[in-house]
A and B are shown apart, each in its own frame.
Chain A
Amino acid sequence: KQEVTQIPAALSVPEGENLVLNCSFTDSAIYNLQWFRQDPGKGLTSLLLIQSSQREQTSGRLNASLDKSSGRSTLYIAASQPGDSATYLCAVKRRSSASKIIFGSGTRLSIRP
């Protein structure tokens, strides 16, 4: 059974700092891993998707890495801004023909001006 864990549950840092969010999963047989952002009262917005054959993906100030062997992914945010404040969720899709996608419980990020 796939389990996805995100630590820490909450993080507060001053504006301008670089930061890393962590995601770990128990079953390394994955199809892909996706990072999402969720603002209060809103749906989820896709940030980055990493296929199982990839090691990282980059979009602007965001970089996501994947290490299947250790069951870990990190989301790196460079030069953080107050607008980055949100909850960040990772989700893992197993490598099977019809598989559900399992989410972690998220990291609530607050960037202090």
Chain B
Amino acid sequence: GAGVSQTPSNKVTEKGKYVELRCDPISGHTALYWYRQSLGQGPEFLIYFQGTGAADDSGLPNDRFFAVRPEGSVSTLKIQRTERGDSAVYLCASSADRALNTGELFFGEGSRLTVL
């Protein structure tokens, strides 16, 4: 697609449920990032993929959070046993291979997660 696409745009779930958030990056972009943003704060880094592998997952808050990118394109962020504190906007961004490009980051519109 022309830009980074994230689905769903809004997700309301109950405490303890499992949630999946999807990111479809710009075609050909090898780098993919997940961020979490709370109201009034800057985006907080979660995980960074280069191709299919997680190059840096140091931002994942705990083992309830997991992300995959099996074919090096679409990525899914998975949250198990959701808690109210997981409520935030989850942002996805992609970037072309840094050896070939400037490393400019392009963001999707985000998935707003509300845990009741």
Contacts and interface: CB of A to CB of B under 8 A. Distances in A.
Given A34-B104, A43-B91, A43-B107, A100 B45 contact: yes
The SS class assigned to the B binding surface is: loop
The SS class assigned to the A binding surface is: strand
Contacts of A43: 4, 91, 107-110
Interface in A75-94: 89, 91, 93
Given A44-B43, A99-B56, A93 B103 contact: yes
Nearest to B103: A32
A4 B42 CA distance: 10
B98 to A, nearest CB: 7
Q: Which 9 A-B pairs have the closest CB atoms?
A: A98-B55, A103-B42, A105-B42, A44-B107, A43-B109, A43-B107, A103-B43, A100-B45, A49-B104
Interface of A: 4, 6, 31-32, 34, 36, 42-46, 49, 51, 89, 91, 93, 98-106
28 contacts: A31-B98, A31-B103, A34-B104, A34-B105, A43-B4, A43-B110, A44-B91, A46-B105, A46-B107, A49-B103, A49-B104, A89-B42, A89-B43, A91-B105, A93-B103, A98-B48, A98-B50, A98-B55, A99-B48, A100-B45, A101-B48, A102-B45, A103-B35, A103-B43, A104-B42, A105-B40, A105-B42, A106-B41
